[in-house]
Structure 1
Amino acid sequence: MSRAKTRPQMPDQIGPKQYVFILLDQFTMLCFSSAVEALRIANRMSGKQLYTWTLAGEGGDVAWCSAGIGFKLDCDLPEINRDDTVLVCGGIDVASATSKKMLNWLRREARKGATIGGLCTAGYTLAKAGLLDGKRATIHWENQDSFIEEFEDVTLTKSVFVIDGNRITTAGGTASIDLMLKIIADDHGEDLANLVADQLIYTSIRTDQDTQRLSIPTRIGVRHPKLGQVIRMMEQNIEEPISPATLARDVDMSTRQLERLFRRYLNRSPKRYYMELRLGKARNLLMQTDMSVINVALACGFASPSHFSKCYRAHYATTPYRERGTHGSKPRD
């Protein structure tokens, strides 16, 4: 988008567009505040009340974010109008925050044809309500493994945000800014969206074509093309691990050269690095899903629960069963 330096002329409109923010327990403050601030600044820069918003949640009293700060709600789960936009804000342990009451409310309001979105981990809540079946969606990268296992009818992407018809999902954090700038541009033109971005000191606007995680070279701090290629193959083949010999052959190296490459840059063998990736995914699945330990083991490339448990304990100093008992949770009634 090109930057505009003067306030744009706004087209006449019937009235402000209403947003209803549903704050789940332990929601992430950044995903919520980023969205609200973009709307507030759009009103300020246009000189008009283009957007209004309401804060709602179960009980209608106070919603607590993951930083321990309480937000006074305007109301309990409300009756909404078809033209309203509902944005559910999720955060830590979204499964526990997704109650039957919330799911039933979402399904009822969705039948009205309203636009409904999930910010950060709230894509889980929308998917649990069946609102994302047959849709493209995204969710915070930390929740992607468990989401894929649970919701087979949703096409999950790694985009920072996705708008598919009247369903919206974001990856969390500052992705709310990118989403709102897109909406503001669609509603009132790119000039206003650029003014909002300038006010936010937001110099790199992302689109739905941008992915949420850093590139592999940036994440590992190493810019070696063959190393990055091997790690990418590892990440894409967790359930059926590829042997070091095959990985080396695919990047035109010997197994010994691949070993030296990993030792030099990552201070571990390819086998060890691969194992850590698989165990990391296993830990996510244990903490975020109700999958059995056996199925978690199979999903992460372990042929037997006993081998999985042995490797897990060596790495995390606890067993998969104890991990599940400590962190496992189920949705509230």
Structure 2
Amino acid sequence: MQRRDFSGVMKTKNYRYVGEGQHVADKRTRVGFLLLENFSLPAFTQALDTLVTANLLQAQTFSITHFSLDGNEVISDLGLVISPDAELNHAGLNDLAMLVVCGGYRTPLHADHSFLQLLQDAARLGMPLGGLWNGAWFLGRAGLLDGYRCAIHPEHRAALAEVAKRAEVTSESYVIDRDRLTASSASGAPTLILEWIKQLHNRALVDGIEDILAFEASRYRRINPKSLLKISEPTRQVVQLMEANLEELLELEQLASYVGRSRRQIERLFREQLGTTPQRYYLELRITEARRLLQHTKLSVVDVGLACGFVTGSHFSRCYSAYYGYRPSKEQRLV
């Protein structure tokens, strides 16, 4: 059977499933996380998860090193003890593509001279520096935020403004200003890292990361809302109807009628705005959701096929194989 490729916006959501972009990186990008006492575990793990997810899509893209100031264990804000890989020293700065200082609500705002000197040396190497939660305070205390915009948790905004008088201090979710990357809370941490990855890699990888990380938050999120910003309202409404009716499929005439357009008008809008036909878009939407259900639920292949509008198992298997190159029964289960 000849393989089919995904079309339009659906292609970028499925590139990782059909083998495009799945290569081993020639050289890993090394990221260091400095864990301070009482650091925010949620902020750290969400930032880390973004990098690990990138590695799932493109093997060995990033390597991660966890540091503490003295090489000893660090207690997080949730009371979990983390054993670092190494003590942060000048040797540890070698080959780092970015160093992220991980603070937390109860992280003491204190830094000795040797710590500040390490941060300053990292800056002199031209290394991007990040700060999570109140991690930005330590960058400011080292004089590394002068002339920069930055983000810090509201509890420590005044403290940072005091030591970094030439910085524009905000409590936005995250701020990237040139080679300074700061997030004020756990919710901003993954977006901060994702935006940094965008500077290094192609859009398809970023879309893949977003898609995977958003799965649990919104199970039926199938396409990035940003990708629909430039489509017309009738097209948007048809897409939403398709998304809401995967099991019981709607005919094109029904879809067109619901949005007050003719079949021909809907076909033209899809061709011009999404680069495909409504029928093919609907099929690819169902195939994409089928793979998600196979990977992230314990539903049987038969039940997944029915949930995605395939009346017979043989039809489901043929369509699935045409796009992914293997039968749905061979799909990797992640649960």
**TM-score interval, normalised by the smaller of the two chains:** 0.5 to 0.7
Q: Which runs of 5+ in 1 are unaligned?
A: 208-333
1:64 Cα deviation after fit:
1.0
Matched, 1:27 2:54: no
The one of 46, 66, 69 aligned to 1:55: 66
- What is the aligned residue count? 205
The one of 212, 226, 233 aligned to 1:199: 212
Over residues 154-182 of structure 1, what are the superposed CA-to-partner deviations in whole Å (9 max), with x where a residue is unaligned?
A: 11133322222221111120211111221
Native 8 Å contact 2:37 2:75 kept in 1: yes
Q: How does 1:74-223 map to 2 (within 5 A)?
A: 74-78=85-89, 79=91, 80-81=93-94, 84-201=97-214
Matched, 1:6 2:15: yes
TM-score normalised according to structure 1 size:
0.56
Over residues 78-99 of structure 1, what are the superposed CA-to-partner deviations in whole Å (9 max), with x where a residue is unaligned?
A: 3213652100100134344533
Letter in 2 for 1:170: A
Q: Which runs of 5+ in 2 are unaligned?
A: 1-8, 227-335
1:136 Cα deviation after fit:
1.1
Native 8 Å contact 1:61 1:73 kept in 2: yes
Query: Matched residue of 1:18: which SS?
Result: strand
Stretches of 4+ moved more than 4 A in 1?
10-13, 202-207
TM-score normalised according to structure 2 size:
0.56
Q: What is residue 248 of structure 1 aligned with on the other side? A: none
Residue 206 and residue 119 in structure 1: after superposition, are their counterparts in 2 closer, same or farther (change >3 A)? farther
1:69 Cα deviation after fit:
0.7
Tell me how far apart the structure 1 counterparts of residues 75 and 150 of structure 2 sit (CA, whole Å).
Answer: 26
Residue 144 and residue 206 in structure 1: after superposition, are their counterparts in 2 closer, same or farther (change >3 A)? farther
Tell me how far apart the structure 2 counterparts of residues 188 and 11 of structure 1 sit (CA, whole Å).
Answer: 13
Letter in 2 for 1:75: A
1:206 Cα deviation after fit:
12
Native 8 Å contact 1:89 1:119 kept in 2: yes
1:184 Cα deviation after fit:
2.2
Q: What is residue 68 of structure 1 aligned with on the other side? A: 79
Letter in 2 for 1:44: L
Residue 131 and residue 82 in structure 1: after superposition, are their counterparts in 2 closer, same or farther (change >3 A)? farther
Q: What is residue 55 of structure 2 aligned with on the other side? A: 43
Native 8 Å contact 2:24 2:61 kept in 1: no
1:129 Cα deviation after fit:
0.5
Tell me how far apart the structure 2 counterparts of residues 137 and 76 of structure 1 sit (CA, whole Å).
Answer: 26
1:10 Cα deviation after fit:
5.8
Letter in 2 for 1:68: G
1:15 Cα deviation after fit:
0.3
Letter in 2 for 1:159: E
1:199 Cα deviation after fit:
1.8
Native 8 Å contact 2:13 2:211 kept in 1: no
Native 8 Å contact 2:22 2:57 kept in 1: no
Letter in 2 for 1:92: Y
Over residues 59-88 of structure 1, what are the superposed CA-to-partner deviations in whole Å (9 max), with x where a residue is unaligned?
A: 112111111111111111132136521001
Query: Matched residue of 1:9: which SS?
Result: coil
Tell me how far apart the structure 1 counterparts of residues 225 and 110 of structure 2 sit (CA, whole Å).
Answer: 29
Over residues 198-250 of structure 1, what are the superposed CA-to-partner deviations in whole Å (9 max), with x where a residue is unaligned?
A: 2222569999xxxxxxxxxxxxxxxxxxxxxxxxxxxxxxxxxxxxxxxxxxx
Letter in 2 for 1:91: G
Tell me how far apart the structure 2 counterparts of residues 129 and 206 of structure 1 sit (CA, whole Å).
Answer: 40
Letter in 1 for 2:80: I
Which shifted more, 85-94 or 118-127?
85-94
Letter in 2 for 1:9: G
Q: How does 1:231-310 map to 2 (within 5 A)?
A: none
